[in-house]
Copies of this chain bind each other. A is one copy, B any other.
Amino acid sequence: MRNKVAPILNLVENSDKLKPLTNRRPVAALPFGCRYRLIDFPFSSLTGIEVPSAALFISGSGHSLYDHIRSGSTWGLESRVGGGVFTHSHINLKAELEGTELYTGNYYDDHYHFVSRSNAEYVLLMGSNMLSNVQLDSLMRFHLKKESDVTVVYKKIKRGEVRKDSIHTSLSMSESDSERIVGFNSIADLTDTENALLLNMEIMILDKETFLKLLYKARKQQKDVTVKNLIQFSLDDDKTIFGYEYTGYLKVIEDISSYFQANMDMLNEDNFNALFYRANPVLTKPKNSAPTYYGEQSEINNAQFANDCEVYGKVQNAVIFRKVSIAEGAQVENSIIMQDSCIEEDVYLNHVILDKHVYVKKGARLEGTIENPIVVAKDSIIYAEGDIEKGE
């Protein structure tokens, strides 16, 4: 009953550099780790606190997200007694639909109504592109103990862990109080000498009243309700902003390379345990499935699989999603194979990402590099001759 939190998930996240994987899905719906989507991580972290209802801001139709989230019951977010998941499609354009007006949500009103009608006392903002597993109850205790107006989650990282031109920001702390945030910079603007930085993880907690004040500012200035902007408004208003340090596994999913690396990271036991076993259990939409069958001749070496696969070939350093079949004589290395893909005999894949439902014909070979893995779009067919029949 105490410390109820109203989370707002901003899922209108830049996905340009993740194409073609994001051609038809937002970053939040990206498959990860054999059986998850990125949204599962923030959603699962919500199970650590008391959440009467959650708001999602998405762009476009969000079909893949709706299909995954449904009622939110997987994460205990469905409730017949008020609450549940409210989804707002933020279509930021002048839309005209043959004669009828488009029922666009009103961006600021949607925020306002969600928060003001919620019976929560606190508001939490987060996104889905910072792959991590944050213990929000501990964040909440920190926020209360510090009597902070606003608390923002950060992690100490090396410059090289994000893109040089990253769109994310680095926080600056007060010299007198190393937990107090006094400013931030765009990572892309940092000088080359700055090697370590405090990454703004774009997770913020604040009380309802403070949030509504900052929302009012955002509306007045017609700016997006992002953590970055709210930090700026808070600084403008001389509010106290504390930084809460996160020390668990983190990967910023900002391009194909970081997405690939995050999946490969899981093949390291330390990373795997840090993400899955050290904080909240990670929940995903349950699927009915059979165990995975490994044939007589299969050879597996450091790989992860979901249920429902049939494996007769060689798999090394790979992340294999549900309902994948790998035939005898096929060899899959350093690759991500998404759901429903079929790999025939004598195929060789190395540094490859197959999106869902890709068919790799007998004898085909694909070889990318760690910096530039080959990405094969959904529903494609790959022939031995090197032809790719595009899925989209």
Contacts and interface: CB of A to CB of B under 8 A. Distances in A.
Interface string A352-378: 000000000000000000000000000
A16 B99 contact: yes
Interface string A126-156: 0000000000000000000000000000000
B60 A104 contact: yes
Interface string A4-27: 000000001011100000011110
A145 B15 CA distance: 53
B88 A92 contact: no
Nearest to A71: B71
A196 interface: no
A288 B81 contact: yes
Interface in A67-85: 67, 70-71, 73, 78, 80-82, 84
B73 A61 contact: no
Binding site secondary structure of chain A = loop
A228 to B, nearest CB: 15
Contacts of A88: 61, 63
A237 interface: no
A100 B61 contact: no
Contacts of A71: 70-71, 73, 78
A62 B100 contact: no
Interface residues of A, number: 45
Contact of A63 (B15, B84, B89): B89
A91 interface: yes
A87 interface: yes
A102 interface: yes
B93 A59 contact: no
A99 B14 contact: yes
B104 A93 contact: no
A87 B66 contact: yes
Contacts of A81: 288
A100 B59 contact: yes
Given A71-B70, A71-B73, A286-B80, A63 B97 contact: no
Contacts of A16: 99-100
A267 to B, nearest CB: 30
A74 to B, nearest CB: 10
A61 B25 contact: no
A235 interface: no
A95 interface: yes
Given A70-B71, A70-B84, A80-B286, A89 B102 contact: no
Given A91-B95, A93-B97, 9 more contacts: A25-B103, A61-B91, A61-B103, A62-B103, A63-B87, A67-B86, A70-B78, A71-B73, A95-B95
